[in-house]
Amino acid sequence: MLTYIHMVYPDTKLEEKLWTAGFKYVVGIDEAGRGPLAGPVVVAGVVIGSSEDLVEGVKDSKKMTKKRREEAFESIKKKCKAYAIGIIDAKEIDRIGIKYAVRKGMKKVVNDIQEKLGEKVDYIISDGAVFPIDGYEMEIIDKGDNFHYSIAAASVLAKVTRDRMMEEYSKIYPVYGFERNSGYGTKEHLESMSEYGICDIHRKSFKPCNMY
């Protein structure tokens, strides 16, 4: 017996509802790199204005192949109304904590988008476990990148940007396999830390990095 799996893609129903309610600029936000032991956290935001701004096949970046993410990355930037990417490095994550680092990245993204638009953002929709941003109407949605296009598109921009950064870091710190693990605590990565200690982009406030 054949089983057919119907793939559900994010849609723009929420964005359309907000536009109808008078919110002209709705920014979808997501981040990449909340949990790794090394490297930055990258936050991205995307604003669309209509269905003409959509890129076919965009969904939660983790569910896309690397090739498809790379293709979508360029198309999203070209077609959307505005986008921005905020990068918060490991030292700042250690200084203020990961949740505040994500919020700092979100604020940067919103400010950069407002500069590009020349107007204030009206509404923020964000993937979950984040702090709200003062001064904005905002909806925090668990697994938002599964359901809402703007958030899914932001997830692609964030992940591709971060993966590229970790590939570059792997050339500077080759012993950790960052090009394969993106800084996550894989067996290879943990064994390398045990043998070589940690490097400048490790998050010293994260376990087990704080042991070295």
148 is a domain residue: yes
Domain hosting 88: range is: 13-163
The CATH number of the domain holding residue 95 is 3.30.420.10
Count of structural domains within the chain: 1
Is 196 among the domain residues? no
Contact 106, 29 (CB under 8 A): yes
The Cα angle at residue 189 between residues 183 and 91, in degrees rounded to 5:
40
Q: Are 101 and 93 in contact (CB under 8 A)?
A: yes
Residue 109 lies in a domain: yes
pTM to 2 decimal places: 0.94
Q: What is the mean pLDDT of residues 69-95?
A: 97
**pLDDT of 2 above 60:** no
- pLDDT of 210 > 50? The answer is yes
Residue 22 lies inside a defined structural domain of this protein: yes
Q: What integer pLDDT is reported at residue 9 of this predicted model?
A: 85
| Average of per-residue pLDDT values in the chain | 94
Closest CA to 53 of 80, 28, 17: 80
What is each CA distance from 171 to 22, 140, 158, 179, 211, in whole angstroms?
A: 48, 37, 21, 9, 25
With 0-12 CB in 10 A as exposed, 13-18 as middle and 19+ as buried, what is 160?
A: buried
Question: For residue 182, is it within any domain?
Answer: no
pLDDT (tens digit per residue) in 112-149: 999 999 999 999 999 988 999 999 999 999 999 999 99
Strand partners, 85: 44
Q: 84 lies in a domain?
A: yes
Q: Determine the Cα–Cα distance for residues 130 and 107; give it in Å rounded to an integer.
A: 12
- 185 in any annotated domain: no
What pLDDT does 7 receive?
59
